[in-house]
Structure formats: C-alpha cells, structure tokens
Structure 1
Amino acid sequence: MTAVSLRRATTIAVLALVSLATVPVAALAHGGNPNFRSVFHGLSTPLPGVQVQVIGYDSLYELRSSAKQPVTIYGYDGEPYSRILPDGTVQQNTNSPAVYLNNDEFGTAPVPAHAHKGAPVVWKTVDKTATITWHDHRMHYIGKGTPPKVTDTHKKTKIFDYTIPLSEGSTKSNITGTLFWVGPAGGGFPVGAGIAFAVILLGSAVLVVTVRRRRAATAGEGPESGDDGDGTAPTAVDPSEPAGTGGRKEAW
C-alpha cells in the first residue's frame, strides 16, 4: 500500500506541473502573445476627447471618444475603417478590407470582392458605446515563431516602430507605437516556480507516507485492532530475537 501511495503522490505532482504548463497556451489564445509588448507612445497630433490604450500585450487597441466631431480610424490602404460619432455611435465601413482582415491573427482571412481600395464608403452601425476595440496587424508580429531580429530570446529587443492613421474631423493624426520582444521573462510561464511547486507537493506526500510507515512499525494498533495499522496481520514474536528488539520482527 505504501508503494501505491507514493506512486499516487508522484502522479499528482506531475499532473499539477503539466496543468500549470498549459497556462501560457490559454493566455496566448485569449490575450495576445506574452513574449511581445506593443507599446503605445501617443498621438502624433493631440486629438481632444480621444483616449487610446493597448490591451493584451500585442493583441488589441482600444479607442474611446468623447470628441465633438467624428473620430475615424483608417485601414491598411488608407481607407476609412471605423469611426465614432459625437453621440457615441460606432460604425464600420463594410467596404474596408480591414474589417475582414482584422478577424484573423495573421491577416489571411478572405476579403469579399466588394471590399477593396477605392470602393465607396458604406457605414454600418455596430454599437453605441463610444469605444472601438480592434485587432490591428500594424501593432503585432504577423510571422510565426521568433522574429529574425531576436538573437537572444531572453533579451528585450525592438522589432519595429509603427503608426496607425486616424483623424478627428479634419485634423489628421497617428497612433504611434513600438513592438518589442520581451521573451519568457516578460510574461511567459514561470517554469522554475512550477517545478518548485511540484517538488513541494511531492515532498509533502512522501513525508506523510513516511510518517505513517513509522507509526505502523513502532506503535501498531494494539491487540484490539487485529492488525498493525497497515492492513496486515500482527507481527509474530520470535523468542530467538536478540534482546533490545522486544522479540519483534518487522514484516516488510
């Protein structure tokens, strides 16, 4: 039974470590890549009433507006992509390729034939929150794996600077930012902490098993219990056993 208990404890510790190791996968799927940081620097020309921030490492931009004029974000071909009206109405240009490309992490989503550079602007209301949250391919690394500029994965590395054009009324401006590689130290899974947790868990289980074995070997359950506390029959007394052992042989 002791061996079984130890095996169970080991299994629990390993499973705990594995479950912790899966955390960054979920984070990557739902909140950007923790190995990167897309840093918002500001607007090239201040726009009163416009607030901008990055969400999820390198995943999303959020723009809020309380401006007295329409605030428009422009797509990859310079076309109007999305806008916020003074009353908080949020609209998208259904003929902007960005509407469709932004639905895919790598910008490979199919774009309908009617959405192209130079197509007439067709606005569609999507909500009235005075907020636009969108995935912009100008703010993150579209390639897979580690960027070529990264020569040391544990060192912070600048990947590129970027701008995203927008306007408030007739005033033109740009969201300005920089994408950095920060590596595992910047937000990846803390492997050392996970291993330490597993070791502590396993060590605690081994300690419990050891204490139980010693109690069973030295104390027993007494004549009323009918066993030695570990599911085996009482240990026989051998008169030939040397003095000092109490004539008791351990049944291991």
Structure 2
Amino acid sequence: MIRPIAILCSAILVALVAAVPAWSHGSANTDFETKILSIEPSGLPVDVRIVGGDQVRFENQGDQELVLCGYEPGECEQWVRIGPKGVFVDHDARSYFANVDATEYGEVPDDAGSNPDWQRVRERPAFYTYHDHRVHWMGLSLPPNVDQSKGGRQTIFESALKFRYGTTDGTVRTRLDYVGGAPWAKRHAEQLIVGFGVVAMLVVFVLDARRRRRLSGGTAQVAE
C-alpha cells in the first residue's frame, strides 16, 4: 500500500517541477517588463504578443500572407512567412542567424541572404514565436539609464518591429521598462515558492519520522 506521506511528497515535487519551465523560459529576470504599445495600422487580422519577456508571437488570423521583417533598416528583409500554405522560415536570412542565440546577437555570415533557404516549420496553426533582441535587455549589468535609487517603472527603450500583411506595411511598437522597484515578494515569487515547497517537504519528512518512531516504540512495548 502506498503511504500517504509518499503521495504528498510526490505531489509537492510534481508542482515544483511543473512550474520550472514557466520560470526558465525568458522570465528569469523579473526586473524588466516588455509591453506592446500599438499595432499599426489598426484593424489588421494580425495578433502580436510578448511571450516570456524576450519572445514575440505573431499570429496570422486572415487569409493573406503575413511577412515578418528582420533587423535590417530600410527595405523589409523577409525572413518569416505565415500564410495559407503554412509557416516558413528563411534559414539563410541575416535575421535568422542573428536570432540563433537568445542572449546575444548571433554571428551573421558575410554571404547570408544571398541564397534563400525557405523551410516550412509547420502547416497549422498560423503563428510563429521567436526571440527578438529588440524587446529585452541582454546586458549583464543594468542599463546605464536606470536609477536604482528610484522606485517604480523606468523606460529603457522603445522598438519598432516591422511586418507586411498582404501589400500593407505594418509596425509593432514595443517598450521595455525596468520594474526593479516593484515589491520584493513580487520580483522573487518563484524563489519563495520553491523555498516554501522545500520547507514543506522537510516538515512532512520530520513528522513522518516521528510518527514511525512512536509506532515502533508502541510495537516494542507490546512485544515485551
């Protein structure tokens, strides 16, 4: 028979393990927050979201092709296509190489973009999520324009992510804020959860050990 104590400990472990992916996927640094300010022009069947603090999710909710433009200024460097035939990524685009590493700009070959290599990553649903270096802070230290003595929200920078829906050019405007002035408990919620979980497991083990000692002591007296 499975002991109730084992079931309880297993439940705690499962809860902690299940929470880890959500914390590790770009949300470890809770001192920063990225928001979408606007999607221009309005009314397009294009849904855009920030995921995990350092990723952007584009979804095509219409019947025309949605093209994501890369980092290069000026003419749209088409590196992702989301349309009726599926989701395609150009593995030779400069922006594809730049996004290989989530923590810094990847090394871009000199001849990148000269030989487009479109590969379909899925047929449906019509969305694509990727790390975008323009929406998160990649430095090891705080941005120079952050004043740690001040509380509240401080703007780090704003960015413009270009796209094209059909023949219409669009822009997603985002803003990265420093929110290190937020309450300590809110910024360190994940560490607190893990800590409480560990303490709860220790308490459970101690109580179980005491219960077993009492039972073994009672058994010994009966035997005598």
The TM-score normalised by the length of structure 1 is: 0.61
**Where does 1:68-83 land on structure 2 (aligned, <5 Å)?**
68-78=63-73, 79-83=77-81
**Where does 1:148-227 land on structure 2 (aligned, <5 Å)?**
148=144, 149=146, 151=148, 155-183=152-180, 185-186=185-186, 188-192=188-192, 195=195, 222=221, 225-226=223-224
- With over 3 angstroms needed to count, the CA separation of the structure-2 counterparts of 1:136 and 1:205, relative to structure 1, is closer
How far apart are residue 134 of structure 1 and its match?
1.4
Alpha-carbon distance in structure 2 between the residues aligned to 1:164 and 1:91: 18
Alpha-carbon distance in structure 1 between the residues aligned to 2:82 and 2:169: 15
- The higher radius of gyration belongs to 1
- With over 3 angstroms needed to count, the CA separation of the structure-2 counterparts of 1:201 and 1:68, relative to structure 1, is closer
Bigger fraction of residues in strand: 2
Identity %: 23
Runs of at least 5 residues in structure 1 that lack an aligned partner in the other structure: 1-15, 227-252
Choose 204-213 or 161-170, whichever is displaced more.
204-213
1:54 is aligned to 2:50? yes
Letter in 2 for 1:125: Q
Residue of structure 2 in register with 1:135 after alignment = 131
Residue of structure 2 in register with 1:39 after alignment = 35
How far apart are residue 100 of structure 1 and its match?
1.1
How far apart are residue 97 of structure 1 and its match?
0.9
Alpha-carbon distance in structure 1 between the residues aligned to 2:91 and 2:193: 48
How far apart are residue 124 of structure 1 and its match?
0.8
Give the conservation status (yes or no) of the 8 Å contact 1:101–1:111: yes
1:104 is aligned to 2:98? no
Alpha-carbon distance in structure 1 between the residues aligned to 2:200 and 2:141: 34
The number of residues matched between the two structures is: 202
- With over 3 angstroms needed to count, the CA separation of the structure-2 counterparts of 1:59 and 1:225, relative to structure 1, is same
The TM-score normalised by the length of structure 2 is: 0.68
Alpha-carbon distance in structure 2 between the residues aligned to 1:216 and 1:83: 69
Give the conservation status (yes or no) of the 8 Å contact 2:66–2:165: yes
Give the conservation status (yes or no) of the 8 Å contact 2:105–2:133: no
Superposition CA RMSD, Å:
3.9
Give the conservation status (yes or no) of the 8 Å contact 1:139–1:162: yes
Structure 2 SS opposite 1:161: strand
